[in-house]
Structure 1
Amino acid sequence: IINKCSFLLYAIFQILNDLRVKLIDNDLETYQNTLLTLFITFINEYFIKKEHLRVNEKQNDILIKEILYFIWNITDKTLTIPIFININCPQICLQWLSLSYLNSYEYKCIIGILNNIARHDNGAIILNKFDCAKIVHQFKNEVLNINIDFIINKDIRSVISLLLDLILILVVDPDELYADEINNGT
């Protein structure tokens, strides 16, 4: 039954993503406390367990990717960001970014979501409150330079690096960015 439910959810998300469904703010508010919270919780629990799963136990990987992509698409509309702030999505995405064992596609979606959140004034404030700049710098130093997916695929590495830089530009005070640039010699 679980595999059938997972497959059904996967098919639904794939269709929604392929159609690039544009939900309006009212639609999301209706589902914020039920569906969106469940999606975030489902992904969070999966990521927590993922490090210890064997390859054959990762049957939900495809479903997770579709849900992440769906959330990335929805957060592209800045009107939806307060809804995602209400369900603690920024904090949870920052926690996910701190995990060292995700794959490049999962990181790309998470960073895309964070970038969309950072484009909203309140999103930037929340991300700043939860040490986004520190976590982004840590990710760039510890994951982006070491993860085999990023070493092999330079295109995805450059896209993710660009998104991370955009997040820093949106979240960090310009004077701090300038000071970091001088300190790093760039």
Structure 2
Amino acid sequence: MRIAFLAAPEGVEQVELTEPRKAAQDAGHETVLVSTKSGEIQAFDHLDKADTFPVDEVVGDTSADSFDALVLPGGVANPDFLRMDEKAVSFVRDFFEQGRPVAAICHAPWTLVEADVVRGRVLTSWPSLRTDIRNAGGTWVDEQVKICENGPNKLVTSRKPADLKAFCQAFLDVFAQKAG
């Protein structure tokens, strides 16, 4: 399975990128770091700069058709930058329109709100997104991980880095169902 990990050039929460990516690789999946610009992305450990990671593909030069699934890591700035980039928003929306599974953690559902794909869905996130999700027509729940099957695809969401183990297991299970 080929999985896209979408991150802005700056602002992704490092652990929310590296742990899910490692879990996917350990499960035998190909992971592809997609960003809005070529080069490297700058990850963060909360508000402090952390490591950089090389971009594999640029969102404007690829499409959802090239992937089996999508993971959206969080970080406060990451989804805020992504939701301001129409190509990134369109890329995310295409996964939903094509019925491909999506996983998002922490602040990442902001990009889902911008893509207008949360209406009728039940999801979780960092608590500060609760109102945005509700205003976009979704139902927000405070759960470690939520798998929503309302709609054309399965959506896996989690709240924060402390939920990463459950998040990784849930999205790997959902993605395996899609592959099978």
Global fold match (TM > 0.5): no
Higher strand proportion, which one? 2
Q: If you compute each CA radius of gyration, which structure gives the higher value, 1 or 2?
A: 1
Higher helix proportion, which one? 1
